[in-house]
Amino acid sequence: MNEPRIGVYVCHCGLNIAGTVDVEAVARYAARLPGVVVSRDYKYTCSDPGQEMIRRDIADFGLDRVVVAACSPRMHEPTFRRTLEAAGLNPYFLEMANIREQCAWVHPEEPETTRKAQELVAAAVRRVSLHQPLLPRGVPIEPAALVVGGGIAGIQAALDIADAGYQVYLVERQPTIGGKMAQLDKTFPTLDCST
C-alpha cells in the first residue's frame, strides 16, 4: 500500500475545546505524525467554511485520509463523511478523535488536556491509515405498514399512511376498533362528541 496522505483538522468548537486544550499545539503535534501531509486548527470545523477547507485540502494536497479532532462522532461523523464524499473520497476514509466530550469537557485544565488530545489524535491518525473503503448497501422496503392498536392513535396513523397510498394492517385485540375514545361522552375543552 502506498503511504497514506492524511489531513488533520483540530477543532476549537468555539471555546468548548479551545478553552481547555491548546489546539494549536495539538495541530503542531499532529503535523509530525507519520503520513500527515497537512494539519490545521479551525474555529468551527463543522461549519460550511470549515468543510470547504477540508474539501480544498483534499484536492490541493491529494489527501486520501482525513482525521477530524472535534466532538463525538455521534454528533458530526455523518457531516464529515459527506464532506469526504463530496470531495470524491470514500466516506469511510474518515476518523474522528473525540477531544470534546472525552477530553475538554471532562478534564479540568492544561497541560493534561492538551496531552490527552494529542494522544487521541495520534491514535486516530494511526487507525485511519488502515481504513478500507466501504460502501453502504440498500435493502428494499416492503410497501406496507402494521399498526398495532385500533384506538384514536392507531386509527389516525393508519388513515394517514393509507391516504398516502400504502397498504395498512390495523390489528386490534377487541372485536371493534375505537378504543377508549369511543367510550367517552363529551371531550374537553370544546365539549364535542367523541364518536
Partner 1 sequence: MMDAGRHPRIEILTLSEVVDVQGYVGNFQVRVRRKPRYVIEDLCTGCGACVEACVWKDRVPSEFEAGMGMRNAAYIPFPQAVPLKAVIDPHSCLWLVKGKCGKKCERACERGAIDFEMQETFLDLKVGVVILATGFDLTDDPSLARYGYGVYDNVIDGLQFERLSSAGGPTGGRILTKDGRVPKAIAFLHCIGSRDDEASEYCSRICCMYATKQAHLAREKTGGEVYQFYIDMRTAGKGYEEFYKRIQKEGVYFIRGKVADVVPDDGRLLVRAEDTLLGRLVEVPVDMVVLATAARPAKGSKELAQLFNVSLDKDGFFMEAHPKLRPVSTHTDGIFLAGCCQSPKDIPDTVAQASAAATRALVLLNQGQVEIEPTTARVIEARCSGCGECTLVCAYSAIEVVEGKARVNEALCKGCGTCAAACLAKAIVAQHFTDEELVAEITGIFERERVLA
Q: Does 1 bind partner 1 (CB under 8 A)?
A: no
Report CA-CA distances (Å) from 33 to 20, 125, 127: 23, 8, 12
Amino acid identity of 166? Answer: Y
Encoded one letter per residue, x for contact with partner 1 by CB under 8 A and - for no contact, window 77-116 reads: ---------------x----------------------x-
End-to-end CA, the chain:
71
Q: Does 125 bind partner 1 (CB under 8 A)?
A: yes
Q: Does 180 bind partner 1 (CB under 8 A)?
A: yes
CB of 59 to partner 1, least distance (A): 25
Contacts of 30 (CB under 8 A, 6+ apart): 8, 10, 36, 39, 67, 69, 118, 121, 122, 125
Amino acid identity of 14? Answer: G
Q: Does 15 bind partner 1 (CB under 8 A)?
A: no
Q: Does 2 bind partner 1 (CB under 8 A)?
A: no
Candidates 49, 61, 109, 174; binder of partner 1 (CB under 8 A) is: 174
Contacts of 48 (CB under 8 A, 6+ apart): none
**CB neighbour class for 163 (10 Å; exposed up to 12, middle 13-18, buried from 19):** exposed
Q: Does 47 bind partner 1 (CB under 8 A)?
A: no
Q: Does 190 bind partner 1 (CB under 8 A)?
A: yes
Encoded one letter per residue, x for contact with partner 1 by CB under 8 A and - for no contact, window 131-170 reads: xx-xxxxxxxxxxxxxxxxxxxxxxxxxxxxxxxxxxxxx
**Number of residues located near partner 1, criterion CB under 8 A:** 78
Candidates 10, 18, 33, 53; binder of partner 1 (CB under 8 A) is: 33
DSSP assignment letter at 186: E
Q: Does 126 bind partner 1 (CB under 8 A)?
A: yes
- The smaller minimum CB distance to partner 1, of residues 31 and 59, is found at 31
CA 143 to chain CA centroid, nearest Å: 28
Q: Does 35 bind partner 1 (CB under 8 A)?
A: no
CB of 194 to partner 1, least distance (A): 8
Q: Would you state the cell numbers that stand for residue 163, as one nine-digit string? A: 391516504
